[in-house]
Chain A
């Protein structure tokens, strides 16, 4: 089973609308990372969250990590076509050894 679940799998929004992408784990995470992938390019690092309850913002993108460090949300305010791409969460956790896993990805399309 997928260890890091992302929802929704895909999202189409009108320009200017807000949206939220979720990333959920069944395990307590050591660190949670959000990346963006533009079509045909490598991953771009967006944010890293490590403390329970932590929230970070960059321009119009805000990411939060819950207190239990098992769920994170990525919120985009007033979306723009430049926000389109695939958003991927990644996380590392310790289970005998450190392990790095990725979510399933969310495809975002923003209509102008």
Chain B
């Protein structure tokens, strides 16, 4: 199993600003994933972040809007850039490798005014 923490747990931001969300895992993992859950919608994968390589983004998500860093095997950041109210969401990081079920962080609840 893996214990995952996220910072901040919640934030209220102004339109046009950027927020960086941190994800820390208590063990070394190869694959980290960033998800978004908008109100009333399902969890949606934003990107996959592997250490030592560029993040892989899903359709509809681009690096300029959601830059990701993965400096080591226990840490990653997701930045939500130039925010608009449509970015209000819960952002979750998760880890998983091989045949293991994914483990999720507690989420970062973002409200953009």
Tally B residues with Cβ within 8 Å of A: 22
> Please, how many angstroms separate the alpha-carbon atoms of A97 and B73 in the complex?
32
Q: Which of B90, B92, B101 is close to A86, meaning CB atoms less than 8 Å apart? A: B101
Known A-B contacts A100-B37, A102-B104; the reply to A45 vs B42 at CB < 8 A is yes
Contact with B along A42-83 (1 / 0, CB 8 A): 111100100000000000000000000000000000000000
Minimum CB–CB distance from A99 to chain B (whole Å) comes to 9
Q: Is the interface of A mostly helix, strand, loop or mixed?
A: strand
Q: A40-B31, A100-B107 are in contact. Are A45 and B44 (CB under 8 A)?
A: yes
The reply to whether the CB of B97 lies closer than 8 angstroms to some CB of chain A is yes
Q: With an 8 A cutoff between CB atoms, is A7 at the interface? A: no
CB-CB under 8 A from A90, the residues of chain B are 42-43
A-side interface residues, number (CB < 8 Å): 21
Q: What is the distance, in angstroms, from A47's C-beta to the closest C-beta of chain B?
A: 8
CA distance A42 to B50 in the complex (A): 12
Between A and B, 20 residue pairs with Cβ closer than 8 Å are A33-B42, A33-B43, A37-B96, A39-B98, A40-B96, A40-B98, A40-B99, A42-B35, A42-B45, A42-B58, A42-B96, A43-B35, A45-B42, A45-B43, A45-B44, A86-B101, A100-B92, A102-B104, A107-B99, A107-B101
Q: What are the 3 tightest A-B residue pairs by CB atom distance, in nearest-first order?
A: A105-B101, A42-B45, A45-B42
Residues of A in contact with B (beta carbons under 8 Å apart):
31, 33, 35, 37, 39-45, 48, 86, 88, 90, 92, 100, 102, 104-105, 107
Which residues of B come within 8 Å of A, CB atoms?
31, 33, 35, 37, 40-45, 48, 58, 90, 92, 96-99, 101-102, 104, 107
